[in-house]
Structure 1
Amino acid sequence: MSDYNYTEFKTEAYDLDQFRGPMPGQKAPDFTLHTADWIDQRLLDFDGDFLVLEMGSLTCPLFQGRRNGMADLMARFPNATFRVLYVREAHPGANIPAHKTAEDKFACATSLRNDHEGRQILIDDADGTAHQAYGGYPNSVFILNRQGCVLWFTDWNNTNAVEKALTQLSQGRPASAKALFKPVPPWVALRTLFRGGKGATADFFAGLPTLIWKNLLKRNWRILTGRGNGVAPDSSC
């Protein structure tokens, strides 16, 4: 077992200055994963025009705070397939600790499914091979086409930006939506951290100044002032 499944959250676990996942215009990595029913599922085998893939876990406040919005998008865009890749616990605690085995990961993914998650949940191995290939962030989102090409991504989910990107792609246009980092309401964050148990809240607040500086300020300025190149929805990589 690698140190991928950290037992205490620290900002050093993430490179918050440089996202290392696949970029728009690049080929998305494919993996054979498992569903919560232990059924094999190829990541890039889907029925819709697009695959909307979100990283998430029980202890990620951002993921939990975006779930209702993503459910609304799934209803509004029947031409897209929506999936969650269950990753390591973002803020493990005494109640929901870091995964030590594949069975631990399956148990958490099953809990998420039983908590009215309507998207298909895919589970990768205990060391997060697929997650790390997609950048290793706790709540990133990728939109892929049937050719396995990354059309749009955000390292932190912003449902308004996902909606705009899907609208543009569904209309046959490149996606140019800029996804600013937006914190979830404090009560959503605290509810999620309390669910994780003792240690999760303290670890989160210890890293909060760094998260504010690198995500809310530094990253958002970079997004606002940057220029992205859109990728056509029918692109091949």
Structure 2
Amino acid sequence: MGADEVTGGFNTVNISGWIWGTDITLDNNLDLVSWWGQVDLFTYSYAWAGDPKSIDDDLYSAIGENDIRKDQFIDAYGDGVLYPIGKFYAPAQTIGGQRSVETDYVYMRIAEMYLLNAEAAAKTGDEATALASLKALLDKRMDDTSYLNTLSGNELLDEIYLQTRIELWGEGKSYLAMKRNKATITRGPNHLSYAGESFSYDDDRLTLEIPQVEIQNNPNIN
């Protein structure tokens, strides 16, 4: 995805860089209860009605000023809430305008493959490959990526993890990335709950338990 597509709405499977998605049409009968309703100010649903999904302030601050992805998050009403309407938006961009959802669902993008390759390479000691994969992606997001050449070891791993969180924000990837990297996340000051508190990857509250009925009836468990 080039710079124009990074801020182009993420709303159609025809965008370059998508590997897997769903082509939503009116026949799907999606409206209030939809992913778009959760994140898009321009869809008539939860985000429009006062329950916005906004980026963590600390994560937003970590995005460089020369990074096009900074423009994915916009203070729509001047109240400091950064809506992701520079990344996800219905094409008409009319507040609350999309009543019946026609914008598509993205599940997987090529960018994720570059980031996973960088992560795997760094963890196996192949830092040259890790840097090459990370640079190939970030060269399309930033004016200058020369700082990457100074990174190695844990600093390189931390940068790959950070860029994964930034690049794939809102795409359902951060949970498993946190688990893989055994990370601890501190919630920024703009959260309604647990603001400023830190959560480790192995916190019980971040562990999805196997249902009892599955344990009892699945012969492949235990």
TM bucket (normalised to shorter chain) is under 0.3
Higher strand share: 1
Q: With the length of structure 2 as denominator, give the TM-score of the two structures.
A: 0.26
Q: With the length of structure 1 as denominator, give the TM-score of the two structures.
A: 0.25
**Which protein is bigger by CA-based radius of gyration?**
2
